[in-house]
Chains A and B, each alone.
Chain A
Amino acid sequence: MHRFPRIERLPPYVFATINELKHKARQAGEDIIDLGMGNPDLPTPPHIVEKMIEVSSNPKNHRYSVSRGIVRLREAICKWYQRRYDIDLDLDTEAIVTIGAKEGIAHLLLATLERGDVVLVPTPTYPIHSYASIIAGADVHLVPFTEGQDFFESLVVATERILPRPKMVVLSFPHNPTTQTVDLEFFKKVIDFAKRYNLLVVHDFAYADIVFDGYQAPSFLQVPGAKEVGVELFSLSKSYNMPGWRLGFVVGNREMIYALARIKSYFDYGIFQPLQIAGILALNGPQECVSEIVETYRVRRDVLIQGLARAGWVVPSPKATMFVWAKIPEKFQPMGSIEFTKFLLQSAKVAVSPGIGFGEAGNLYVRFALVENEHRIRQATRGIREALDLVQPQARRRAREQQA
């Protein structure tokens, strides 16, 4: 028997058990409202789809593309940063196209880390933010990112306790799953800190556009000197409803982008060119579609938050992302997030993600993804209201029990 040490370090996927139960319920003919996976449900804006259809019949676009992305797509992302944040990027050395942000981060870390390196990652976290390091052979040091704790302070303490010092920190704001946001001042502190300890910074900016109530999410690269210490990842999945297209970018630090380009030049021939061309249109074309997408999520968010409140489950309204991170009602907390998720699936016919799937620190929470329409979300909250039974008077409940 041969050993495969790299995959031995990857634990079984926590969400798999929930997915299995969901499939079983559906097979049994049950109508499950799926707010589990963060898989956007709305179609890609038609002008982007049409462009892809148009150019895909051109045989020129059927050949191998370039692994770092075609020039005009890299130019489009640089312009996007220029327009939005007044950041100058060199399209040859400071920008690269990736097969979604996930591939970007996975290969970036494979290119820059080795065995024995330590990476700081907040917990709870989007799983690939920690497992990209594990796959690269490095080790993750989880930094608690929970209410009532100054995350930046925890980051400094963690760094000072490890010898040799950690090599990298992986951040993502607006944050999945906690929906936490930061201001530019936070990134300033992170960059000073990164310079002091010679740390590399990777910032996943997947939810850059999905912001509400006037909040603007800062780009990590807005801080002068950011490019000296790190990179930012952006993806078209959320902003343009293009999750299945796999179009992402890494921009910023030249050495890191060079490392990623180098490793990608061995791994892939780039994304199917018609997708890249459509991506150019997404970034350069009309942006009303983005505001429409954001507005859709906002409405869904409000419906969910209000519906949960009616069910006696009060959850703060997130300023950003397509998620709601909800602390499990006290009465149900002893169940833990997996059992509570199963309970919601069985009793309320609603699928959510158990918080523990994002790390131990998430076990008192579940995550709702706003990926069903508002009617369905309303239906979900009604189901939850009945299942939780938090708002019913004791007497009535007792009477009902006696009847039963």
Chain B
Amino acid sequence: MESTSIFSERVQKIQPSATLAVDARARELKARGVDLISFGAGEPDFDTPDNIKQAAIEAIHQGFTKYADVSGTQDLKEAILAKFQRDYGISYQPQEIIVSCGAKHSLYNIFQVLLDKGDEVLLPAPYWSSYADMILLTGARVKVIRTKAKEGFRLHGDGLKKAIGTRTKMLILNSPSNPTGACLPKEDLQEIGKIVQEKGIWVVTDDIYEKLIYDRFEWRSIASVAPEIRDHCLVVNGVSKAYAMTGWRIGFTAGPAEVIGQMSKLQSQSTSNPNSIAMKAAVEALNGPQESVEKMRQEFEKRRNFVVDRLSAIPHIQCFRPQGAFYVFPDVSKWYGREYQGKKIENSSSFAEFLIDAVQVAVVPGVAFGEDHSIRLSYAASMENIQKGLTRLHDALLALR
């Protein structure tokens, strides 16, 4: 039973990113000239606003191209402190903030400094698969808590309490959520806050989709509504989704100074500072004009309305109407059991394959998010493509009947 691989036990525990794999396949098909419509994107299809680009260009001209502070430049930290004050109503100290190479890197560092073999992390499903894999890399394990579409993917206090064991160290929250777009209401967050406070569990809240909120939903971070958990709560956010800056790789964490200090130590021995130019751009993103955010949000809301209505018009598809992010996560399992060209559609992976083969539409199978009954569609695509793609999807399913 001894492993014979040359690779570490650690790396063998994890899977390549499923969402990036769909992206790669879509890109490859497109390069071969296939007229493919992709709902796989995990990033806004908008351009980074000009004022932000300009700030980066200036940083280059000014020679701000050398090593910088490991945990982030002072001006960026100040911009982040102001952001938390403005958007969360929380005053952090500079030593409670660290900038990393994207929010994913923030999460990676948090897990590395807090988790060990034997620790257990509670992860509400459906979940972004990278949480699970990054946690597994530390040797800790994941306990999944199921949430249901018909309940708005809410995390109930009872379910949370039941899942807490003697080795539970951390709870992950992601609202708005990737892949469901669901947002947790304030009351739920307060209840969760009480439970984790009582049990002494760390909360990591990934608020990266914070700015993409619809229906005037009153979004709150657990950090704001449950201030009592401050000394064991880590807030992760970044500029990627709000300012269409996914490629710039700037994310940040706010939390207790001791944890931030350990993350900074880890960062000093692994990546050093995040890209200096991108940090200057991020300062502009946070401090500069915010109109582009609202414009993008409005456009996404229009698309969400269209996508949810269009999907709901397709027989046997149940689509929850999310109040955030740019994903929908419809349940397509009623189509399982049908056949396409002799091949049975039996799960979300074969459903996704069928859509590519039959009508050249790329979606991400729900199994990548721990929920095999659904698929994820991102509406970070042009309205024209969304319309075309959903028509194709509808036609493909009708042809199955």
Contacts and interface: CB of A to CB of B under 8 A. Distances in A.
Interface string B13-36: 100000000000000000000000
A155 to B, nearest CB: 15
Contact of A163 (B142, B165, B166): B142
B117 A163 contact: no
A137 B145 CA distance: 25
B141 A115 contact: no
Contacts of A255: 1
B120 interface: yes
Interface in A159-182: 160-164
B143 A115 contact: no
B148 interface: no
Contact of B144 (A116, A137, A141, A161): A161
A139 interface: yes
Interface in A198-221: none
B386 interface: no
B144 A118 contact: no
Interface in B111-125: 117-118, 120
Interface string B319-354: 000000000000000000000000000000000000
A139 B167 contact: yes
Contacts of A139: 118, 120, 165-167
Interface centre among B118, B140, B142 (most CB of A within 10 A): B118
Contact of A162 (B117, B143, B166): B143
A118 B117 contact: no
A115 B132 contact: no
Contact of B142 (A115, A137, A141, A162): A162
Interface in B124-160: 132, 135-136, 139-146
Contacts of A162: 141-144
A143 to B, nearest CB: 12
B136 A163 contact: yes
Given A161-B144, A163-B136, A163-B142, A116 B117 contact: yes
Interface string A127-166: 0000000000101010000000000000000001111100
A164 B10 CA distance: 11
Interface of A (DSSP majority class): mixed
Contacts of A164: 13, 136, 141
Contact of A141 (B117, B139, B165): B165
A160 B146 CA distance: 11
Nearest to B121: A163
Contacts of A118: 141
Contacts of A163: 132, 135-136, 141-142, 144
A290 B120 CA distance: 46
Contact of B117 (A115, A160, A161): A115
B143 A116 contact: no
Interface centre among A137, A139, A141, A163 (most CB of B within 10 A): A163
Nearest to B123: A163
Nearest to A118: B141
B351 to A, nearest CB: 19
Interface string A28-49: 0000000000000000000000
Interface in A246-288: 255
Interface centre among A116, A160, A164 (most CB of B within 10 A): A116
Interface residues of A, number: 12
A115 B13 contact: no
Nearest to B145: A161
Contacts of B1: 255
A127 to B, nearest CB: 15
A31 to B, nearest CB: 41
Nearest to B163: A161
B348 to A, nearest CB: 15
Interface centre among B135, B145, B146, B167 (most CB of A within 10 A): B167
B139 A116 contact: yes
Contacts of B166: 139
Contacts of B118: 115-116, 137, 139
A118 B140 CA distance: 11
B16 to A, nearest CB: 16
A255 B2 CA distance: 11
Interface string A106-126: 000000000110100000000
Interface centre among A137, A141, A161 (most CB of B within 10 A): A161
A98 B7 CA distance: 37
Nearest to A114: B117
Interface centre among B139, B143, B145 (most CB of A within 10 A): B143
A255 B1 CA distance: 8
A261 B306 CA distance: 66
A167 to B, nearest CB: 11
B307 to A, nearest CB: 30
A2 B66 CA distance: 48
A164 B166 CA distance: 18
Contacts of B136: 163-164
A255 B13 CA distance: 23
Interface string B220-231: 000000000000
Contacts of A160: 144
A257 to B, nearest CB: 13
B373 to A, nearest CB: 13
A116 B136 CA distance: 11
Contacts of B143: 161-162
Interface in A226-262: 255
Interface in B206-254: none
A75 B155 CA distance: 56
B158 to A, nearest CB: 15
Given A116-B117, A139-B166, 18 more contacts: A115-B117, A115-B118, A116-B139, A116-B141, A139-B167, A141-B165, A160-B144, A161-B145, A161-B146, A162-B142, A162-B144, A163-B135, A163-B141, A163-B142, A163-B144, A164-B136, A164-B141, A255-B1
Interface of A: 115-116, 118, 137, 139, 141, 160-164, 255
Enumerate the 10 nearest inter-chain pairs by beta-carbon distance, A residue then B residue, closest first.
A116-B117, A163-B142, A161-B144, A115-B117, A116-B118, A115-B118, A139-B167, A116-B139, A163-B132, A162-B143
30 contacts: A115-B118, A116-B117, A116-B118, A116-B139, A116-B140, A116-B141, A118-B141, A137-B118, A139-B120, A139-B165, A139-B166, A139-B167, A141-B165, A160-B144, A161-B143, A161-B144, A161-B146, A162-B141, A162-B142, A162-B143, A162-B144, A163-B132, A163-B135, A163-B136, A163-B141, A163-B142, A163-B144, A164-B136, A164-B141, A255-B1
